[in-house]
Every structure is written in structure tokens, then in C-alpha cells.
Structure 1
């Protein structure tokens, strides 16, 4: 069904898994007022540590960083929905709920009274959903310091111990809340959460039990009819309370507001009411039924969006490509941008953006946007469908240069640009030299020459002698010199006579020799010096060379470089026409002439 959210720029995205603890810890504020949000997230953080690939689990927030202060999240676990926010207005929570697909029905679980207006606004006012039930419970709480003091007195003939998964069948068969999917739920709670069962010593019969639910609450506390009025309900309550207290956690429980016997039991054991919580279930709006084998999440992203990958996660993304170090737009390139930001952290906000699709980069799918115009990308997904979806999130009205991409991405890139005017750079070949060979290079300079990183005062010299220099290119050259690895050959007078830089691709580029020093082996010396420096750091040396540049190709071949594949540069304009007469190196982007052959040797 159509989502009625009127917030076109907002969408639901997953909370990065390594930031879940930050989200959880926001709920330490004003304890125990926000303990429900804390223990809900804590439960699923622990579960993900046990199984990082839990099916049908999504922990979502809105696509901006406001969650870092207001803690807004919605959490879909199969057919159950959990939610919370620290924002008293509930507005962002309401928006998040409206962006869900409710057509499969949800059991909205243990949501607090202060969040009820947001839930009802979506369920009743916006979507007009029918409800199977809408129940009020009281939130009981006991601090951990009190919980560990609980005294356990087990009657003769019984033993208290944790249940196993087979015991879930017994509990499910007599559970008043039994429903499709409940057996799977109880088995999982036994497997992953603290629980307590009371068994007869005579025949090992399970006669009383209590679970800890996903939201952190005690739940499904029950005693078989045959063993009522023997104090076993109190026994399992005290036992699991003490058990959770010994985990250094407070204990919570939801009790129906009309369930007088249970309220008396909890209060007599020392629990106090701190809040109210509701349980609401909506009917599906289409033919649909959950089963124990039905494990996909009934969740709909409003639209695909690009989500920034935090800088601290860039090494993790890089390491996904550890077995593809010889590819362009892969390990070396990501590491190169990591190095840049180590030297200048402002780049992340000002120019270099690393994006995932909808916050998920587990399959290596990413886009890097540098100074808005330069786009590079990669994916490990065989179908490359998510990479294409990510590219289609780029602004259609902007002009882009898609640079240095590997030939295995060519079909996907061409599918992206097929409706736009494009231009292609000359055929470019990707070269590589083995680490062992690079380590053996002799890099001793001729007499009167010193090798060192290029000095910033020589930026103008490098730019002016670059055959492809253009208005604004001095900024590009300057950034390569300031932030990247380079080597320059200086004479005794301090004059720069030859040089080589590291391109954004993490490959060699801008190799140049002053006219006065040509045919003296300086070009080869620069390449060998850069390759040896890389090899000493365990870095593969790669270089793009335009096919028609036969002199450079011959020199690299003589040094032991091998052509390993082809890479590509496409210029995409905002014009939706196909008969362009422009050349790629003449496209004017935002009044700044940009030449994509800057990336070739």
C-alpha cells in the first residue's frame, strides 16, 4: 500500500551495525525512564553478536544523523515491531513509522505510552488499519542491585534450571498468546536469552517457566494447571530476576493492567511500576500469513538513497577488496583516500564523499564522489544490480566523469549512462609489476641528483609542464602533492627535473621529465622509485596508460610491468541526447575545464 509520508527527502536506512551500541547508550539518559529503549537495543546487539546474519531483522532510522541525539529507531523482527525515541515531540518517530510497509501486518510490541500518539496517528489516521488487539500493560522494574539479592527457595521435588529448545513446545502448547510463529519465537528466546524452567525431579517434567523477551521484558511466565498454588510462579520469577541481575542488568516486566494476581506477585517480590506499555497488532491488508519458515522482513524502503559511510568504516570496506588488490577502483584506491583524510580530515565534509546504497555496503557496493564531478565505484555483487541502483541515485541534472572503472563493471556503467550524452576517453590499459620485482629495483639517482617527495613550492612547475593542465588543474595537482605519495628528482640547485605522483586511483600518474633531462633514464627512475616505495609498504604498484602512448607502454614493459586488463573513463552530461560531438577532454563542467586524461600516464 502507498505510504502517506509527506517527507520526500526522508527514508528509512539501517543503523550501521557498529554504531548500534552508540544508539543504545543514548538511552542511559534519565535512568530508568529510558530503560525500555536501552534493553530492546541491547537484546538485539547481543543477538547479532551470536548471529550477524539474522534473517528478517532490520534496525532502522531516518536518513540523517539526528538519531545520534534523539535516538529515534524502529526495529522489525519478523512480524514484531519495536520502536522508541528520546524526542518528546514524537515527530521523527511518526515519520519513521509512516515509511514502513504495513501491508503484512505488525505486532507492535511493548511501546510506551508517550509514543502511543505517533503509533495511532499512522495506524488509525493515516492508514486506517484494522487492529486485532490493542492492549495496555504496566511496566514493572527492579534495579539490578536489588535483583541479585533475591532469595531462592526451591521446594522439595523440583529443580530450577535453564530450558532447552525442546521445552519450547511444552510452553507454546499452553501459552495463552500462542500464534503462528510463536514456537519459533520461544525456541529463539531459549537459545539466546536467559530463561528459567522448573522441572520435577521424579520425571523431569517442565511445570513452570519464564522467558526474557526481545524487548528485555520478562514474559510468558506460566505454571501448568496441575502444579498451581505451589509457589512455582514466585520461584521462576525470583530465579530469572536474580539471573538477570547477575548479568549486571535491571529487570523489567509487562503485566496486563487488569491481571491482578500477576500484579500482586510482582509487587510482593519488590517490583515497582515505572511506566505503561501497549501491545497492538494490525491485520494484514493483503493475503499473507507468517510461518516458522517465513523469514523475510515485511519492510519497504521508501526509495533507494545514497548514505555516507563514516570514515572510520572505510578500512572495513577496503578490506572487503583484499583479494582484488590488482583491480582499479579497489583496495589501493580506497586506501589512497584513507591516507588523504588522515592528512586532511576536512576533505570528508568538503569534497570526498563515500556512499553506500541505503546504508548497506556488506557486498562491497560503494560510490565515491570527489568534488561533485568525479565519480568512482565498485561492487562485489555478481549481478551488480545494487551498484546500478546506487548510480541511479546520483543527480540526473549533474555532469559527471566516471573514472578508472574495471572492465567487469562496463555493462553496468553503460546501463546507467544509456539515456545520456556520453563521451569516452581513449582506450586505457592497466599495468602492474610484481612486488618482488619492485623491491629489487635499483633506485640510486645519478650524481648531482637527489630523490625526495615533491615540495609544495613546485606545484606550479608540475602543473605547468603537465600536458593536460587547464584552468583549475593547479588545485588538483596541489592536492596530489600535498596528500599523496610522490617522488621528485632535484638537482644540486634544488630544481625539480623529473617527477611522478599518485593518482586518486592509488596508481602512478603525471609522470614527467623536464626537456633538459630527457633521454637520461629519469622517467624509468621515477617509476622504479615509486614502485619500490610501494613494495616496501606491501602496496601493489599499478598504472593506467593510454593505448596510443606507445613510448610509455614500452618503458613500463621494459621495467617488468604487465598489461593485466583495460579500464575506462566515461563523461556523462545532463543532456539526454546521444549524438554528441564533444570530446571527453573538452567537456566544460560548471565553467571548469576538466580533462579526464589526467588519470593516465
Structure 2
């Protein structure tokens, strides 16, 4: 395995751009790293420059890596090379709990096979649709009146507790640190009430995907989600970010929302999150 340096990360980003949409999550991580977003990851490949497997994993030299959930992200163009890398090289640290996120479900049998050989338990965490905006001209733009427009702003750190408490995968200190990191370093948008408190919001993950879209129950049914999706998609596109998201397979409301707003998906592709532990 080879750990990529700063210049090589730039080249790898350009390579992954040619493999969208399946490479979106690793591409998103590299996009952020290459624009100096804080990261606790290192990026490794099976060989350079003609790599077939690229892995984002916690950087053992980064002390802050312990503050966040241990996550690994993989993109591969070759099944056998991926199996070889996971089996024969120290591509990932199998000795502790970790989550493999946003990988092609096609490779699930390999991950299960290799983990079984090491007597490591694995569990499917979630299965998701990958949706992306092929062009900003495809985006459906809802009308926003002046009163609502005056209540649109960005999140700040004082909102981290509220977002964390309502986030499906948050609710703890680790989640709070994650939300603070996202608010501090990535785009966000919210709609506030007359007192200036957020009632609906959307963030961008550290792999540059839209996410954590939420509206307080008493404020639903007003079209806030459509407004936030359109605002964030326009903002990301204008700043050069990829415009994509992962939607859990059972979240039909969000899936329909994004599809109706112009996002598309490769019907043959599904991404998944798996967790591994002894």
C-alpha cells in the first residue's frame, strides 16, 4: 500500500472524477482534503499511479482521529485486487471497531469473506440510494417569498446541540464534535423562526455530500426542505463542490423529494454502510 502525498491526492481526485457516480464518496473526501478542509484521514492506494483500490482511513499519526468514529471508505475498480489488498496488506486495522461507509454493495461478499477469515463480526448498518445532480439546470427551484427569504441563514456553533439531538446518528458527545466540525468547516443552511432559532436545516458532510436534512415536527408541511435543498445545491455548485447525497433505502419521503427536484441515480448501483468488530 502507498500513502498518498499532497500532490498525489490532487491527481487521484482527477482520476476519481472520471468514475462518478460510484466513486462519489471517496472523491468527496479528497475534494475536501485538497481544499484544506480539516481531516483526520490518510488516503492509500494499492499502487501508484495506476491504482485499482483507493481507501480513506483514520490517520494513525493524527491525534484528533480518536475523537471521531472510526470510519473507512473504499472505492475499487477490480474485485480481485480489492480482495488481495484486504487480505494480504494492512489496508485497514481489523483489531478495533470500525465502520465501512458508502461502498458499492457489490463488494459486500468480499468484505464479509475477509472479515470471516479473521473471525471478525460484521453487520449491515444501512443500505442507501446515491442521488446526484447532473447539472444545475436540472434543479427544480421552488418559489421563496421575501418573508421566508429573510429567515434563511447559515448554522453556527450555538446550533450544534439542537442539530445533534435531532440527528439520527448523533445524540452523544462524538456526534456533537462531528456536528461542530461540519458547521465550522463546510456549508450549511437553515430557516429560522421569528426569534431567530433554526426550525429546519441542512448540512454538508466531510465527504461533501448533502445531509442531516431535518425540520422540527411543528414546522413541517411548509416546503422548507425543498427550499433548503435548492439553496444548498446552488451554493455547492457555485463553489465547485460535487452535488450529491445518500438516502437510506427506507426513507421514501426524502428519496421522492430529491428525485422530484432533479436529482438522478444509477438504478444498478447501491451503496452500503457495514460495521466490523471482534
TM range (shorter): 0.7 to 0.9
Q: How does 1:334-373 map to 2 (within 5 A)?
A: 334-339=30-35, 342-344=36-38, 347=39, 351-357=40-46, 360-370=48-58, 371=65, 373=70
1:309 aligns with 2:9: no
Could you tell me how far 1:495 is from its partner in structure 2? 1.4
Is the counterpart of residue 417 in structure 1 residue 95 in structure 2? no
Give RMSD over aligned pairs: 2.6
Q: Indicate how the Cα distance of structure 1 residues 390 and 479 shifts in structure 2: closer, same or farther if over 3 A, else same.
A: farther
Higher mean displacement: 467-476 or 385-394: 385-394
- 1:378 match: 75
- Alpha carbons of 1:567 and 1:446: their partners in 2 closer, same or farther (altered >3 Å)? farther
Q: Which residue of 2 aligns with 1:157?
A: none
The structure-2 alpha-carbon separation of the partners of 1:443 and 1:311, relative to structure 1 and needing over 3 Å to count, comes to: farther
Which structure features the higher share of helix residues?
Answer: 2
Q: Which runs of 5+ in 1 are unaligned?
A: 1-305, 576-601
Q: What TM-score do the two structures reach when normalised by structure 2?
A: 0.82
- Structure 1 position 558 matched with structure 2 position 271: no
Asked whether the 8 Å contact 1:430–1:545 carries over to 2, the reply is yes
Contact kept, 8 Å, 2:26 with 2:73, in 1: the verdict is no
Give the SS at the match of 2:16: coil
Q: Which has the higher contact order (CA 8 A, sep 6+)?
A: 2
SS at match of 1:447: helix
Does the alignment pair 1:501 with 2:189? no
CA distance in 1, matches of 2:88, 2:190: 39
Partner of 1:521: 223
Partner of 2:104: 406
Pairwise CA distance, 1:522 = 0.6
The verdict on how the C-alpha distance between 1:314 and 1:563 changes in structure 2, with shifts beyond 3 A counting, is same
Relative to structure 1, the CA distance from residue 362 to residue 485 in structure 2 (aligned partners, 3 Å threshold; closer, same or farther) is: farther
Distance of 2:187 and 2:146 partners within structure 1: 22
Structure 1 position 508, deviation (Å) = 1.4
Contact 1:433–1:560 (8 Å) recurs in 2? yes
What TM-score do the two structures reach when normalised by structure 1?
0.40
1:321 corresponds, among 2, 7, 16, to 16
Distance 1:317 1:506 in 2: 16
| C-alpha contact (below 8 Å) 1:317/1:364 kept by paired residues | no
SS of residue paired to 2:99: strand
Please state how far the C-alpha of 1:417 moved relative to its aligned partner.
2.3
1:378–1:387 CA contact under 8 A, matched in 2 = no
How far apart are residue 406 of structure 1 and its match? 2.0
Structure 2 residue 166 is matched with structure 1 residue 465: yes
The Cα offsets for residues 221-268 of structure 1, whole Å up to 9 and x where unpaired, read as xxxxxxxxxxxxxxxxxxxxxxxxxxxxxxxxxxxxxxxxxxxxxxxx
Larger Rg belongs to:
1
For residues 141 and 193 of structure 2, the distance between their equivalents in structure 1, rounded to whole angstroms, comes to 21
Deviation at 1:402, TM superposition (A): 0.5
Residues 211-222 of structure 1 aligned to structure 2 (within 5 Å) = none
Paired residues, number: 261
Q: CA deviation at 1:500?
A: 0.9
- TM-superposed CA distance for 1:318, in Å, is 0.7
Say whether 1:535 aligns with 2:237: yes
The superposition leaves residues 344-371 of structure 1 with CA deviations (integer Å, 9 ceiling, x where unpaired) of 4xx4xxx2222234x6353153221243
Decide whether aligned partners of structure 1 residues 480 and 361 sit closer, same or farther in structure 2, where only a CA change above 3 A counts.
farther
1:435, 1:540 within 8 Å by CA — same for their partners in 2?
Answer: no
Seen in structure 2, the aligned counterparts of structure 1 residues 317 and 364 have a Cα distance that, compared at 3 Å, is farther
